[in-house]
Structure 1
Protein backbone atom coordinates (compact mmCIF):
# COMPACT_ATOMS: atom_id res chain seq x y z
CA UNK A 1 0.00 0.00 0.00
CA UNK A 2 1.11 3.57 -0.59
CA UNK A 3 1.44 6.27 2.03
CA UNK A 4 -1.98 7.74 1.35
CA UNK A 5 -3.72 4.41 1.88
CA UNK A 6 -1.69 3.69 5.01
CA UNK A 7 -2.58 7.10 6.40
CA UNK A 8 -6.27 6.54 5.64
CA UNK A 9 -6.39 3.09 7.22
CA UNK A 10 -4.47 4.24 10.32
CA UNK A 11 -6.49 7.43 10.71
CA UNK A 12 -3.51 9.78 10.43
CA UNK A 13 -2.27 12.21 7.80
CA UNK A 14 0.47 11.64 5.26
CA UNK A 15 2.26 14.54 6.93
CA UNK A 16 2.16 12.63 10.22
CA UNK A 17 3.75 9.63 8.52
CA UNK A 18 6.56 11.82 7.25
CA UNK A 19 7.07 13.13 10.78
CA UNK A 20 7.22 9.57 12.14
CA UNK A 21 9.95 8.86 9.59
CA UNK A 22 11.88 11.98 10.58
CA UNK A 23 11.90 11.20 14.32
CA UNK A 24 12.71 7.54 13.71
CA UNK A 25 9.64 5.76 15.09
CA UNK A 26 8.58 4.45 11.69
CA UNK A 27 11.05 3.01 9.20
CA UNK A 28 10.97 4.65 5.81
CA UNK A 29 10.72 2.07 3.00
CA UNK A 30 12.85 2.39 -0.09
CA UNK A 31 11.10 3.63 -3.20
CA UNK A 32 10.18 0.96 -5.71
CA UNK A 33 10.87 1.00 -9.42
CA UNK A 34 7.69 3.02 -9.86
CA UNK A 35 9.07 5.75 -7.61
CA UNK A 36 6.61 5.11 -4.76
CA UNK A 37 7.23 3.77 -1.26
CA UNK A 38 5.33 0.63 -0.42
CA UNK A 39 4.00 -0.16 3.06
CA UNK A 40 2.52 -3.38 4.43
CA UNK A 41 0.25 -4.50 7.25
CA UNK A 42 3.18 -4.48 9.70
CA UNK A 43 3.64 -0.77 9.05
CA UNK A 44 -0.09 -0.28 9.62
CA UNK A 45 0.12 -2.07 12.97
CA UNK A 46 3.10 0.05 14.00
CA UNK A 47 1.36 3.30 13.08
CA UNK A 48 -1.74 2.23 15.03
CA UNK A 49 0.51 1.46 18.04
CA UNK A 50 2.15 4.88 17.69
CA UNK A 51 -1.31 6.47 17.75
CA UNK A 52 -2.25 4.50 20.85
CA UNK A 53 0.93 5.51 22.68
CA UNK A 54 0.46 9.13 21.66
CA UNK A 55 -3.13 9.08 22.92
CA UNK A 56 -1.93 8.45 26.49
CA UNK A 57 0.64 11.21 26.24
CA UNK A 58 3.83 9.28 25.51
CA UNK A 59 6.18 11.49 23.48
CA UNK A 60 7.48 10.16 20.18
CA UNK A 61 11.07 10.12 21.43
CA UNK A 62 10.10 7.68 24.21
CA UNK A 63 8.28 5.27 21.90
CA UNK A 64 11.04 3.24 20.21
CA UNK A 65 11.80 1.15 23.30
CA UNK A 66 8.12 0.35 23.80
CA UNK A 67 7.59 -0.40 20.10
CA UNK A 68 10.67 -2.51 19.55
CA UNK A 69 11.24 -4.39 22.80
CA UNK A 70 8.38 -6.55 24.03
CA UNK A 71 10.16 -7.03 27.35
CA UNK A 72 10.06 -3.35 28.23
CA UNK A 73 7.65 -2.64 31.08
CA UNK A 74 5.72 0.53 30.41
CA UNK A 75 4.41 0.73 33.97
CA UNK A 76 7.15 3.03 35.22
CA UNK A 77 6.72 5.32 32.22
CA UNK A 78 2.96 5.44 32.80
CA UNK A 79 3.58 6.34 36.43
CA UNK A 80 5.79 9.24 35.34
CA UNK A 81 3.19 10.34 32.80
CA UNK A 82 0.45 10.20 35.43
CA UNK A 83 2.50 12.49 37.69
CA UNK A 84 3.18 14.89 34.81
CA UNK A 85 -0.50 14.98 33.87
CA UNK A 86 -1.48 15.61 37.48
CA UNK A 87 0.88 18.58 37.53
CA UNK A 88 -0.59 19.89 34.28
CA UNK A 89 -4.11 19.51 35.65
CA UNK A 90 -3.15 21.40 38.81
CA UNK A 91 -1.61 24.23 36.76
CA UNK A 92 -4.61 24.40 34.44
CA UNK A 93 -7.00 24.38 37.39
CA UNK A 94 -5.11 27.26 39.01
CA UNK A 95 -5.08 29.13 35.69
CA UNK A 96 -8.82 28.60 35.24
CA UNK A 97 -9.50 29.80 38.80
CA UNK A 98 -7.42 32.91 38.11
CA UNK A 99 -9.33 33.63 34.89
CA UNK A 100 -12.68 33.19 36.66
CA UNK A 101 -11.54 35.44 39.50
CA UNK A 102 -10.48 38.21 37.13
CA UNK A 103 -13.69 37.85 35.14
CA UNK A 104 -15.82 38.08 38.30
CA UNK A 105 -13.96 41.27 39.23
CA UNK A 106 -14.31 42.65 35.70
CA UNK A 107 -10.57 43.22 35.82
CA UNK A 108 -8.01 43.47 33.04
CA UNK A 109 -6.15 40.17 32.58
CA UNK A 110 -2.75 41.75 33.26
CA UNK A 111 -3.72 43.07 36.71
CA UNK A 112 -2.67 41.25 39.89
CA UNK A 113 -5.92 39.56 40.98
CA UNK A 114 -5.17 40.33 44.63
CA UNK A 115 -5.29 44.07 43.88
CA UNK A 116 -8.03 44.09 41.23
CA UNK A 117 -10.99 44.65 43.62
CA UNK A 118 -9.32 47.69 45.14
CA UNK A 119 -8.14 49.15 41.83
CA UNK A 120 -11.76 48.91 40.64
CA UNK A 121 -12.71 51.46 43.30
CA UNK A 122 -10.38 54.04 41.74
CA UNK A 123 -11.20 53.04 38.17
CA UNK A 124 -14.70 54.42 38.70
CA UNK A 125 -13.47 57.66 40.30
CA UNK A 126 -13.22 59.57 37.02
CA UNK A 127 -9.45 59.96 37.05
CA UNK A 128 -7.73 61.10 33.87
CA UNK A 129 -6.63 58.37 31.41
CA UNK A 130 -3.00 59.29 32.14
CA UNK A 131 -3.43 58.87 35.88
CA UNK A 132 -5.48 55.68 35.45
CA UNK A 133 -2.68 54.21 33.32
CA UNK A 134 -0.10 55.35 35.88
CA UNK A 135 -2.04 53.67 38.68
CA UNK A 136 -2.41 50.46 36.68
CA UNK A 137 1.23 50.24 35.58
CA UNK A 138 2.52 51.08 39.04
CA UNK A 139 0.31 48.41 40.62
CA UNK A 140 1.61 45.80 38.19
CA UNK A 141 5.20 46.85 38.93
CA UNK A 142 4.76 46.92 42.71
CA UNK A 143 3.05 43.53 42.77
CA UNK A 144 5.92 42.03 40.82
CA UNK A 145 8.62 43.67 42.95
CA UNK A 146 7.20 42.64 46.33
CA UNK A 147 6.79 39.04 45.16
CA UNK A 148 4.69 36.33 46.73
CA UNK A 149 5.90 37.02 50.27
CA UNK A 150 5.25 40.75 50.09
CA UNK A 151 1.89 40.55 48.33
CA UNK A 152 -0.20 40.15 51.54
CA UNK A 153 1.30 43.40 52.86
CA UNK A 154 0.67 45.24 49.60
CA UNK A 155 -2.87 43.85 49.47
CA UNK A 156 -3.52 45.09 53.00
CA UNK A 157 -2.35 48.56 52.00
CA UNK A 158 -4.56 48.67 48.90
CA UNK A 159 -7.47 47.33 50.89
CA UNK A 160 -7.02 50.03 53.51
CA UNK A 161 -6.83 52.97 51.06
CA UNK A 162 -9.94 51.76 49.20
CA UNK A 163 -12.22 51.62 52.24
CA UNK A 164 -15.21 53.94 52.29
CA UNK A 165 -13.50 56.16 54.87
CA UNK A 166 -10.14 56.49 53.11
CA UNK A 167 -11.00 56.25 49.40
CA UNK A 168 -12.54 59.75 48.96
CA UNK A 169 -9.45 61.43 50.42
CA UNK A 170 -7.10 59.23 48.37
CA UNK A 171 -9.04 59.94 45.17
CA UNK A 172 -8.94 63.67 45.92
CA UNK A 173 -5.17 63.44 46.38
CA UNK A 174 -4.86 61.60 43.07
CA UNK A 175 -6.80 64.34 41.27
CA UNK A 176 -4.69 67.07 42.88
CA UNK A 177 -1.51 65.21 41.93
CA UNK A 178 -2.76 64.88 38.34
CA UNK A 179 -3.22 68.68 38.18
CA UNK A 180 0.37 69.43 39.23
CA UNK A 181 2.32 70.79 36.27
CA UNK A 182 4.58 73.55 34.97
CA UNK A 183 2.20 76.24 36.22
CA UNK A 184 2.01 74.85 39.75
CA UNK A 185 3.61 77.09 42.38
CA UNK A 186 5.84 75.91 45.18
CA UNK A 187 3.14 76.66 47.79
CA UNK A 188 0.72 74.48 45.80
CA UNK A 189 3.22 71.63 45.70
CA UNK A 190 3.92 72.05 49.42
CA UNK A 191 0.20 72.06 50.22
CA UNK A 192 -0.23 68.83 48.25
CA UNK A 193 2.72 67.20 50.02
CA UNK A 194 1.32 68.18 53.42
CA UNK A 195 -2.12 66.82 52.54
CA UNK A 196 -0.65 63.59 51.20
CA UNK A 197 1.46 62.96 54.27
CA UNK A 198 -1.42 63.83 56.61
CA UNK A 199 -3.65 61.33 54.81
CA UNK A 200 -1.25 58.49 54.03
CA UNK A 201 1.06 58.43 57.05
CA UNK A 202 -1.72 57.31 59.44
CA UNK A 203 -2.64 54.56 57.00
CA UNK A 204 0.96 53.37 56.89
CA UNK A 205 1.14 53.54 60.68
CA UNK A 206 -1.99 51.38 60.90
CA UNK A 207 -0.15 48.70 58.96
CA UNK A 208 2.43 48.87 61.75
CA UNK A 209 5.59 47.26 60.43
CA UNK A 210 5.93 49.10 57.10
CA UNK A 211 6.48 45.80 55.31
CA UNK A 212 5.43 47.16 51.92
CA UNK A 213 8.04 49.89 52.02
CA UNK A 214 10.63 47.45 53.36
CA UNK A 215 9.98 44.99 50.55
CA UNK A 216 10.51 47.73 47.98
CA UNK A 217 13.76 49.10 49.37
CA UNK A 218 15.88 47.02 47.01
CA UNK A 219 13.85 48.05 43.98
CA UNK A 220 13.61 51.78 44.61
CA UNK A 221 15.69 52.49 41.52
CA UNK A 222 13.16 50.79 39.24
CA UNK A 223 10.26 52.72 40.77
CA UNK A 224 12.21 55.96 40.41
CA UNK A 225 13.01 55.15 36.78
CA UNK A 226 9.34 54.58 36.05
CA UNK A 227 8.16 57.81 37.67
CA UNK A 228 10.92 59.79 35.95
CA UNK A 229 9.66 58.62 32.57
CA UNK A 230 5.95 59.30 33.09
CA UNK A 231 5.68 62.26 35.50
CA UNK A 232 6.33 65.95 34.99
CA UNK A 233 8.88 67.92 36.99
CA UNK A 234 6.48 69.23 39.61
CA UNK A 235 4.99 65.79 40.20
CA UNK A 236 8.46 64.30 40.63
CA UNK A 237 9.34 67.14 43.00
CA UNK A 238 6.22 66.36 45.05
CA UNK A 239 7.09 62.67 45.28
CA UNK A 240 10.64 63.44 46.33
CA UNK A 241 9.35 65.73 49.08
CA UNK A 242 6.82 63.14 50.23
CA UNK A 243 9.51 60.45 50.44
CA UNK A 244 11.73 62.76 52.47
CA UNK A 245 8.96 63.56 54.94
CA UNK A 246 7.83 59.95 55.33
CA UNK A 247 11.42 58.91 56.02
CA UNK A 248 11.62 61.48 58.81
CA UNK A 249 10.28 60.68 62.29
CA UNK A 250 7.08 62.59 63.15
CA UNK A 251 8.81 64.60 65.86
CA UNK A 252 11.35 65.91 63.32
CA UNK A 253 9.26 66.63 60.23
CA UNK A 254 7.54 69.90 59.48
CA UNK A 255 4.09 68.55 60.22
Structure 2
Protein backbone atom coordinates (compact mmCIF):
# COMPACT_ATOMS: atom_id res chain seq x y z
CA UNK A 1 0.00 0.00 0.00
CA UNK A 2 2.96 2.31 0.58
CA UNK A 3 3.53 2.31 -3.19
CA UNK A 4 -0.03 3.51 -3.79
CA UNK A 5 -2.66 2.14 -6.13
CA UNK A 6 -3.01 2.03 -9.88
CA UNK A 7 -5.27 4.31 -11.87
CA UNK A 8 -7.69 1.43 -12.40
CA UNK A 9 -7.90 0.81 -8.68
CA UNK A 10 -8.35 4.51 -7.97
CA UNK A 11 -11.16 4.64 -10.49
CA UNK A 12 -12.87 1.64 -8.93
CA UNK A 13 -12.51 2.98 -5.38
CA UNK A 14 -13.85 6.44 -6.35
CA UNK A 15 -16.67 5.13 -8.55
CA UNK A 16 -15.48 6.74 -11.79
CA UNK A 17 -13.84 5.54 -14.97
CA UNK A 18 -10.17 5.68 -15.88
CA UNK A 19 -11.13 8.03 -18.70
CA UNK A 20 -12.75 10.38 -16.17
CA UNK A 21 -9.60 10.50 -14.06
CA UNK A 22 -7.54 11.36 -17.11
CA UNK A 23 -10.08 14.04 -17.94
CA UNK A 24 -9.63 15.50 -14.44
CA UNK A 25 -5.87 15.47 -14.99
CA UNK A 26 -6.33 17.33 -18.27
CA UNK A 27 -8.29 20.08 -16.50
CA UNK A 28 -5.76 20.31 -13.67
CA UNK A 29 -8.23 19.19 -11.02
CA UNK A 30 -5.98 16.36 -9.87
CA UNK A 31 -2.21 16.44 -10.14
CA UNK A 32 -0.73 13.52 -12.00
CA UNK A 33 0.93 11.33 -9.35
CA UNK A 34 4.41 9.93 -9.47
CA UNK A 35 5.16 6.86 -11.52
CA UNK A 36 6.72 3.69 -10.18
CA UNK A 37 9.76 1.97 -11.63
CA UNK A 38 7.58 0.29 -14.22
CA UNK A 39 6.21 3.63 -15.43
CA UNK A 40 2.75 3.25 -13.91
CA UNK A 41 1.10 6.09 -12.02
CA UNK A 42 0.58 5.37 -8.36
CA UNK A 43 -2.16 7.15 -6.44
CA UNK A 44 -1.78 7.82 -2.74
CA UNK A 45 -4.43 8.53 -0.15
CA UNK A 46 -4.26 12.29 -0.77
CA UNK A 47 -4.80 11.69 -4.49
CA UNK A 48 -7.75 9.42 -3.80
CA UNK A 49 -9.28 11.95 -1.41
CA UNK A 50 -8.95 14.70 -4.01
CA UNK A 51 -10.47 12.42 -6.62
CA UNK A 52 -13.51 11.71 -4.44
CA UNK A 53 -13.93 15.43 -3.72
CA UNK A 54 -13.80 16.32 -7.42
CA UNK A 55 -16.19 13.50 -8.32
CA UNK A 56 -18.65 14.60 -5.64
CA UNK A 57 -18.70 18.24 -6.75
CA UNK A 58 -18.93 17.29 -10.42
CA UNK A 59 -21.78 14.93 -9.63
CA UNK A 60 -23.58 17.75 -7.83
CA UNK A 61 -23.48 19.77 -11.02
CA UNK A 62 -20.58 22.08 -10.28
CA UNK A 63 -18.83 23.03 -13.55
CA UNK A 64 -15.35 21.55 -13.85
CA UNK A 65 -13.90 25.01 -14.39
CA UNK A 66 -15.03 26.01 -10.88
CA UNK A 67 -14.15 22.87 -8.93
CA UNK A 68 -10.44 23.59 -8.55
CA UNK A 69 -11.05 27.06 -7.12
CA UNK A 70 -13.62 25.72 -4.66
CA UNK A 71 -11.43 22.91 -3.39
CA UNK A 72 -8.39 25.17 -3.01
CA UNK A 73 -10.31 27.85 -1.09
CA UNK A 74 -10.18 28.37 2.66
CA UNK A 75 -13.17 27.07 4.71
CA UNK A 76 -15.08 30.37 4.61
CA UNK A 77 -14.58 30.82 0.88
CA UNK A 78 -15.45 27.16 0.35
CA UNK A 79 -18.80 27.55 2.10
CA UNK A 80 -19.58 30.75 0.21
CA UNK A 81 -18.71 29.11 -3.09
CA UNK A 82 -21.02 26.21 -2.37
CA UNK A 83 -23.87 28.63 -1.63
CA UNK A 84 -23.29 30.24 -5.02
CA UNK A 85 -23.26 26.83 -6.67
CA UNK A 86 -26.51 25.89 -4.94
CA UNK A 87 -28.20 29.08 -6.15
CA UNK A 88 -26.96 28.42 -9.67
CA UNK A 89 -28.27 24.86 -9.56
CA UNK A 90 -31.64 26.08 -8.30
CA UNK A 91 -31.87 28.47 -11.26
CA UNK A 92 -30.99 25.63 -13.62
CA UNK A 93 -33.60 23.38 -12.03
CA UNK A 94 -36.25 26.07 -12.46
CA UNK A 95 -35.20 26.49 -16.09
CA UNK A 96 -35.36 22.74 -16.72
CA UNK A 97 -38.80 22.53 -15.11
CA UNK A 98 -39.98 25.35 -17.39
CA UNK A 99 -38.54 23.55 -20.42
CA UNK A 100 -40.26 20.33 -19.40
CA UNK A 101 -43.58 22.17 -19.11
CA UNK A 102 -43.03 23.67 -22.57
CA UNK A 103 -42.40 20.21 -24.02
CA UNK A 104 -45.56 18.90 -22.37
CA UNK A 105 -47.60 21.72 -23.87
CA UNK A 106 -46.01 21.23 -27.29
CA UNK A 107 -47.18 17.62 -27.16
CA UNK A 108 -50.69 19.09 -27.48
CA UNK A 109 -49.83 21.15 -30.56
CA UNK A 110 -48.82 24.79 -30.81
CA UNK A 111 -50.83 25.89 -27.77
CA UNK A 112 -47.68 26.94 -25.92
CA UNK A 113 -47.00 29.49 -28.66
CA UNK A 114 -50.20 31.41 -28.02
CA UNK A 115 -51.56 33.49 -25.12
CA UNK A 116 -54.58 32.38 -23.11
CA UNK A 117 -56.91 34.73 -24.98
CA UNK A 118 -56.09 33.11 -28.33
CA UNK A 119 -56.41 29.63 -26.84
CA UNK A 120 -59.85 30.50 -25.56
CA UNK A 121 -60.92 31.33 -29.13
CA UNK A 122 -59.61 28.01 -30.41
CA UNK A 123 -61.41 26.17 -27.62
CA UNK A 124 -64.70 27.77 -28.72
CA UNK A 125 -64.43 26.57 -32.29
CA UNK A 126 -65.45 22.88 -31.91
CA UNK A 127 -68.63 23.96 -30.13
CA UNK A 128 -69.43 26.21 -33.10
CA UNK A 129 -69.18 23.30 -35.51
CA UNK A 130 -65.62 23.67 -36.77
CA UNK A 131 -63.73 20.49 -37.56
CA UNK A 132 -60.46 19.40 -35.98
CA UNK A 133 -58.65 20.33 -39.20
CA UNK A 134 -60.27 23.77 -39.09
CA UNK A 135 -59.03 24.31 -35.54
CA UNK A 136 -55.53 23.21 -36.52
CA UNK A 137 -55.50 25.63 -39.44
CA UNK A 138 -56.78 28.43 -37.21
CA UNK A 139 -54.16 27.69 -34.56
CA UNK A 140 -51.35 27.75 -37.10
CA UNK A 141 -52.71 30.98 -38.53
CA UNK A 142 -52.79 32.60 -35.09
CA UNK A 143 -49.20 31.53 -34.40
CA UNK A 144 -48.15 33.16 -37.66
CA UNK A 145 -50.23 36.27 -36.98
CA UNK A 146 -48.65 36.71 -33.57
CA UNK A 147 -45.17 36.36 -35.06
CA UNK A 148 -45.74 38.56 -38.10
CA UNK A 149 -47.76 41.38 -36.52
CA UNK A 150 -47.11 41.35 -32.76
CA UNK A 151 -48.20 44.97 -32.34
CA UNK A 152 -51.64 44.37 -33.83
CA UNK A 153 -52.26 40.86 -32.53
CA UNK A 154 -54.60 41.88 -29.72
CA UNK A 155 -56.72 43.92 -32.14
CA UNK A 156 -56.80 40.94 -34.49
CA UNK A 157 -58.06 38.73 -31.67
CA UNK A 158 -60.76 41.31 -30.95
CA UNK A 159 -61.94 41.06 -34.56
CA UNK A 160 -62.11 37.28 -34.33
CA UNK A 161 -64.00 37.43 -31.03
CA UNK A 162 -66.46 39.84 -32.62
CA UNK A 163 -66.93 37.52 -35.59
CA UNK A 164 -67.46 34.39 -33.51
CA UNK A 165 -70.26 36.16 -31.65
CA UNK A 166 -72.16 36.51 -34.93
CA UNK A 167 -73.85 33.20 -35.98
CA UNK A 168 -74.16 34.27 -39.62
CA UNK A 169 -70.48 35.19 -39.74
CA UNK A 170 -69.56 31.80 -38.26
CA UNK A 171 -71.62 30.15 -40.98
CA UNK A 172 -69.79 32.20 -43.64
CA UNK A 173 -66.41 31.19 -42.25
CA UNK A 174 -67.34 27.50 -42.30
CA UNK A 175 -68.58 27.78 -45.88
CA UNK A 176 -65.39 29.57 -46.92
CA UNK A 177 -63.17 26.98 -45.29
CA UNK A 178 -65.10 24.05 -46.77
CA UNK A 179 -64.65 25.63 -50.19
CA UNK A 180 -60.91 25.30 -49.77
CA UNK A 181 -61.25 21.69 -50.85
CA UNK A 182 -62.95 22.63 -54.11
CA UNK A 183 -61.03 22.89 -57.37
CA UNK A 184 -60.06 26.49 -58.24
CA UNK A 185 -62.32 26.40 -61.31
CA UNK A 186 -65.34 25.03 -59.44
CA UNK A 187 -68.34 27.18 -60.46
CA UNK A 188 -69.57 27.23 -56.86
CA UNK A 189 -66.64 29.47 -55.91
CA UNK A 190 -68.05 32.42 -57.84
CA UNK A 191 -71.43 32.00 -56.16
CA UNK A 192 -69.89 31.69 -52.70
CA UNK A 193 -67.65 34.72 -53.28
CA UNK A 194 -70.75 36.77 -54.08
CA UNK A 195 -72.46 35.63 -50.88
CA UNK A 196 -69.43 36.20 -48.64
CA UNK A 197 -68.70 39.61 -50.18
CA UNK A 198 -72.31 40.68 -49.58
CA UNK A 199 -71.92 39.57 -45.96
CA UNK A 200 -68.85 41.78 -45.46
CA UNK A 201 -70.39 44.68 -47.35
CA UNK A 202 -73.39 44.53 -45.01
CA UNK A 203 -71.10 44.64 -41.95
CA UNK A 204 -67.55 45.78 -42.77
CA UNK A 205 -66.59 45.48 -39.08
CA UNK A 206 -66.41 41.71 -39.63
CA UNK A 207 -63.75 42.10 -42.31
CA UNK A 208 -60.29 41.23 -40.89
CA UNK A 209 -58.05 44.26 -41.33
CA UNK A 210 -54.61 43.08 -40.13
CA UNK A 211 -53.97 46.65 -39.03
CA UNK A 212 -50.72 45.70 -37.34
CA UNK A 213 -49.08 45.53 -40.77
CA UNK A 214 -50.04 48.90 -42.19
CA UNK A 215 -47.07 50.87 -40.87
CA UNK A 216 -44.41 48.30 -41.70
CA UNK A 217 -42.07 48.61 -44.65
CA UNK A 218 -42.44 44.89 -45.24
CA UNK A 219 -46.15 44.86 -44.43
CA UNK A 220 -47.14 43.61 -47.88
CA UNK A 221 -44.82 40.62 -47.60
CA UNK A 222 -46.10 39.78 -44.14
CA UNK A 223 -49.69 40.15 -45.35
CA UNK A 224 -49.06 37.69 -48.18
CA UNK A 225 -47.57 35.16 -45.78
CA UNK A 226 -50.58 35.43 -43.48
CA UNK A 227 -53.34 35.39 -46.07
CA UNK A 228 -51.81 32.60 -48.15
CA UNK A 229 -51.31 30.24 -45.24
CA UNK A 230 -53.05 26.94 -45.85
CA UNK A 231 -53.65 27.46 -49.56
CA UNK A 232 -51.47 24.50 -50.53
CA UNK A 233 -53.82 22.20 -48.63
CA UNK A 234 -56.97 24.11 -49.71
CA UNK A 235 -56.50 25.08 -53.38
CA UNK A 236 -59.91 26.72 -53.73
CA UNK A 237 -58.94 29.44 -51.28
CA UNK A 238 -56.72 31.41 -53.64
CA UNK A 239 -59.42 32.14 -56.20
CA UNK A 240 -62.14 32.52 -53.59
CA UNK A 241 -60.12 35.07 -51.60
CA UNK A 242 -59.25 37.05 -54.72
CA UNK A 243 -62.91 37.18 -55.81
CA UNK A 244 -64.13 38.25 -52.36
CA UNK A 245 -61.56 41.05 -52.16
CA UNK A 246 -62.43 42.21 -55.66
CA UNK A 247 -66.15 42.38 -54.92
CA UNK A 248 -65.66 44.12 -51.56
CA UNK A 249 -63.41 46.76 -53.16
CA UNK A 250 -65.94 47.27 -55.93
CA UNK A 251 -68.44 48.22 -53.22
CA UNK A 252 -66.12 51.00 -52.07
CA UNK A 253 -64.80 49.20 -48.99
CA UNK A 254 -61.05 49.37 -48.49
CA UNK A 255 -59.31 46.03 -48.14
CA UNK A 256 -55.78 46.50 -46.78
TM-score (structure 1 length as normaliser): 0.67
Of 12, 19, 26, 2:23 maps to 19
Mind listing any 5+ residue stretches in structure 2 that lack a counterpart? none
Instruction: State the Cα distance separating 1:184 from its structure 2 match.
Output: 4.0
Instruction: State the Cα distance separating 1:183 from its structure 2 match.
Output: 3.4
Larger C-alpha radius of gyration, 1 or 2? 2
13-22 or 43-52, which moves further after superposition? 13-22
Matched, 1:9 2:13: yes
Q: Does the 8 Å contact 1:3/1:14 carry over to 2?
A: yes
Equivalences for 1:204-215 in 2 at 5 Å?
213-214=211-212
Partner of residue 252, structure 2: 252
Partner of residue 224, structure 1: 224
9-18 or 180-189, which moves further after superposition? 180-189
Q: Secondary structure at the match of 2:16?
A: coil
Tell me the distance in 1 between the aligned counterparts of 2:80 and 2:219: 46
25-34 or 53-62, which moves further after superposition? 25-34
TM-score (structure 2 length as normaliser): 0.67
Instruction: State the Cα distance separating 1:140 from its structure 2 match.
Output: 2.6
Tell me the distance in 2 between the aligned counterparts of 1:162 and 1:34: 85
Q: Secondary structure at the match of 1:239?
A: helix
Q: Does the 8 Å contact 2:113/2:143 carry over to 1?
A: yes
Distance 1:173 1:238, change over 3 A: closer
Instruction: State the Cα distance separating 1:44 from its structure 2 match.
Output: 1.2
Tell me the distance in 1 between the aligned counterparts of 2:130 and 2:197: 22
Q: Secondary structure at the match of 1:73?
A: helix
Q: Does the 8 Å contact 2:29/2:68 carry over to 1?
A: yes
Matched, 1:236 2:238: yes
Q: Does the 8 Å contact 2:70/2:78 carry over to 1?
A: yes
Q: Does the 8 Å contact 1:143/1:154 carry over to 2?
A: no
Tell me the distance in 2 between the aligned counterparts of 1:200 and 1:100: 41
**How many residues are aligned here?**
241
Q: Does the 8 Å contact 1:146/1:215 carry over to 2?
A: yes
Matched, 1:46 2:44: no
Q: Does the 8 Å contact 2:6/2:40 carry over to 1?
A: yes
Equivalences for 1:175-190 in 2 at 5 Å?
175-179=178-182, 181-184=184-187, 187-188=190-191, 190=193
Of 134, 145, 148, 1:145 maps to 148
Q: Secondary structure at the match of 1:36?
A: coil
CA RMSD between the two structures: 4.2
Instruction: State the Cα distance separating 1:59 from its structure 2 match.
Output: 0.7
Q: Secondary structure at the match of 2:31?
A: coil
Instruction: State the Cα distance separating 1:60 from its structure 2 match.
Output: 0.5
Tell me the distance in 1 between the aligned counterparts of 2:193 and 2:31: 80
Mind listing any 5+ residue stretches in structure 1 that lack a counterpart? none
1:73-119 per-position Cα deviation (integer Å, ceiling 9, x unaligned): 1455445444434433443444455556667xxx3157634344533
Partner of residue 108, structure 1: 109
Q: Does the 8 Å contact 1:161/1:203 carry over to 2?
A: yes
Instruction: State the Cα distance separating 1:7 from its structure 2 match.
Output: 1.9
Partner of residue 41, structure 2: 37
Matched, 1:173 2:176: yes
